[in-house]
Amino acid sequence: MDIIRLILSILLPPVGVFLQVGFGLHFWLNILLTLCGYIPGIIHAVWIIARR
């Protein structure tokens, strides 16, 4: 399941974070980072998935 989350994190970072943690602080932070720049959103999403 982590492979699917990682692929989704590269394509749509907030979706990967949502599947990992749900609607929480990290989800909203990832949306903000993705809006500021696509690369920071990807980095944050991969970090969240790899950490848990």
Give per-residue pLDDT as tens, 2-47.
Answer: 899 999 999 999 999 999 999 999 999 999 999 999 999 999 999 9
Q: Name the one residue in this structure whose structure tokens are 């990290």.
A: 26
Tell me, yes or no, if the pTM score tops 0.85.
Answer: yes
CA distances to 34, 36 from 13, in Å: 7, 13
22 φ, ψ to 5°?
A: 80, -160
**CA-CA-CA-CA dihedral for 52, 44, 27, 36, to nearest 10:** 180
CB 5 within 8 A of CB 34: no
The pLDDT assigned to 33 comes to 97
